[in-house]
Chains A and B, each alone.
Chain A
Amino acid sequence: MSEGILEVSDSSFDSEVLQSEIPVLVDFWAPWCGPCKAIGPVIEEISKDYKDKIKFVKFNVDNNPVTPGNLGIRAIPTLILFKGGEQLEQIVGMVGKPKIEETLNKSL
């Protein structure tokens, strides 16, 4: 899908997300999800504005079923913001840039 955003898996979720020093926004997506494909570029654009403050990663739920199962994810796109290993915010469904930015700003 989009370039430049780290793809995290079940095996790297702990080290890349839960153990991260800075907050992490995880974009749970799958190739069969049209809205996920559509908001991919939006998230990539936002990621540039939050460089060094928030880490942006993508998580393919199709290849990695364990983590979404543990988190109770039953819909995508789902965006979850983690800070210090805890879930801080969650956005489900296709939303616009202002809504995502508003959610991220709350955590900064």
Chain B
Amino acid sequence: MKAADYDLVIIGSGPAGLTAAIYAARARLNVLVLEKVAPGGQILVTDWIENFPGFPEGISGADLVMKMTEQVRRFGVEIETNEVLSLDFSEDMKKLTLNDRTISTKTVIIATGASPRKLGIPGEEDFFGKGVSACATCDAPFYRDKVVAAVGGGDTAVQESIYLTRFVKKVYLIHRRNELRATRILQERAFANDKIEIVWDSVPTSVNGSIFGVESISIKNVKTDEASDLSVDGCFIWVGISPNTGFIKDALEVDKSGFIVANAKMETSVPGVYAAGDVRNTPLRQVATAVGDSAIAAFEAANYIENL
């Protein structure tokens, strides 16, 4: 094989990418981490992480990612701000086209994570930043003593709704089914919180407002078809995630939702290319699972290079 620019290129620097960087650096691989925006990913918007071992009091998402970044830098790994525009996996030496150049590498770990999914209803885009939000830790203080809607029923929707109640007067938690999907401890906290009113069996149909921002949300009961409006000053949307895989096109096998298919060794459909964390087709998307995926992916990448 011709000399490659790198042994390993890690795309993304959330908990998955950062963990892969630590393991790769310790395996003495010549590694580059690429980050489109800034290290962190989705956990930056997580107020408090209570289920990552080692932090008995919990830790904020931003603090956890800063500690991980510090650890990566301690091992001398550079995190470059750049974007992967396209991939070429047709030869053993993989090529990545970035904003300003093309690089070659023996192995790749894709750890680009996922982004909050949108509802796709009228008003959602128009009022983004003017009442529509996906980040309670960023925006909740703007809604002190106001009434807001939250949409969703999973862990994120329920946990963030509970967080909102520290500031707001009331949260309407709008959920399309008649039971929540969130983990039990979160459900119990939500049911016990008298600022949260759950609007069951309902889906939002539009976000409405004026130049002053959001003023109401229209909803429809999926069982009775009855439509109604709730007066709210804000609307937080937590209806799941979509993988950040736009740059992959058809270079790798993905599942029907677009998540990268990878096996227990994090191997994708292309030898030497691994997927780790939320971008992978995995039953659970947590910081704990992301770091586990990445340790395996970096280990397997090092093995692959050894056998070239």
Q: What is A's interface to B at a CB cutoff of 8 Å?
A: 30, 32-39, 41-42, 45, 62, 68, 72-78, 90, 92-98
**Whole-angstrom distance from the CB of B137 to the nearest CB of chain A?**
6
Give CA–CA (A62, B167) in the complex, Å.
14
Give CA–CA (A32, B81) in the complex, Å.
24
**Whole-angstrom distance from the CB of B307 to the nearest CB of chain A?**
36
Known: A37-B44, A38-B62, A96-B38. 9 other contacts (CB 8 A): A32-B138, A33-B135, A34-B62, A42-B38, A42-B81, A74-B131, A75-B128, A75-B130, A96-B36
Instruction: Report whether B128 and A34 are in contact in the complex, using a CB–CB cutoff of 8 Å.
Output: no
Give CA–CA (A92, B81) in the complex, Å.
20
| A37/B62 contact (C-beta < 8 A), A42-B81, A72-B130, A74-B129 known | yes
Give CA–CA (A95, B83) in the complex, Å.
12
Give CA–CA (A45, B81) in the complex, Å.
11
**Cβ-based interface call for B139 (8 A):** yes
Instruction: Report whether B44 and A38 are in contact in the complex, using a CB–CB cutoff of 8 Å.
Output: yes
**Cβ-based interface call for B46 (8 A):** yes
A-B contact pairs, 6 of them (CB 8 A): A34-B137, A38-B39, A42-B37, A72-B213, A92-B128, A95-B37
Give CA–CA (A35, B99) in the complex, Å.
23
List of B residues within 8 angstroms of A32 by Cβ? 137-138, 141
Give CA–CA (A53, B154) in the complex, Å.
47
Q: What is B's interface to A at a CB cutoff of 8 Å?
A: 36-40, 43-46, 60-62, 65-66, 81, 83, 99, 128-131, 133, 135, 137-139, 141-143, 212-213, 234
Minimal Cβ-Cβ distance residue in A for B99: A98
Instruction: Report whether B81 and A72 are in contact in the complex, using a CB–CB cutoff of 8 Å.
Output: no
Instruction: Report whether A34 and B46 are in contact in the complex, using a CB–CB cutoff of 8 Å.
Output: yes
List of B residues within 8 angstroms of A78 by Cβ? 129
Instruction: Report whether B45 and A35 are in contact in the complex, using a CB–CB cutoff of 8 Å.
Output: yes
Instruction: Report whether B61 and A75 are in contact in the complex, using a CB–CB cutoff of 8 Å.
Output: no
Instruction: Report whether A75 and B129 are in contact in the complex, using a CB–CB cutoff of 8 Å.
Output: yes
**Whole-angstrom distance from the CB of B108 to the nearest CB of chain A?**
20
Q: Which of B36, B37, B40, B133 contacts A75 (CB 8 A)?
A: B133
List of A residues within 8 angstroms of B40 by Cβ? 34-35, 38
List of B residues within 8 angstroms of A76 by Cβ? 138-139
| A34/B60 contact (C-beta < 8 A), A42-B81, A75-B129, A78-B129 known | yes
Q: Which of A33, A72, A90, A95 contacts B212 (CB 8 A)?
A: A72
**Whole-angstrom distance from the CB of A70 to the nearest CB of chain B?**
12
Give CA–CA (A35, B65) in the complex, Å.
11
Give CA–CA (A42, B244) in the complex, Å.
21
Give CA–CA (A35, B139) in the complex, Å.
11
Give CA–CA (A36, B137) in the complex, Å.
11
Instruction: Report whether A97 and B129 are in contact in the complex, using a CB–CB cutoff of 8 Å.
Output: no
Give CA–CA (A98, B46) in the complex, Å.
25
Give CA–CA (A103, B139) in the complex, Å.
23
| A35/B129 contact (C-beta < 8 A), A41-B38, A75-B142, A77-B138 known | no
| A74/B44 contact (C-beta < 8 A), A33-B138, A39-B37, A96-B81 known | no
List of A residues within 8 angstroms of B39 by Cβ? 38
Instruction: Report whether B139 and A75 are in contact in the complex, using a CB–CB cutoff of 8 Å.
Output: yes
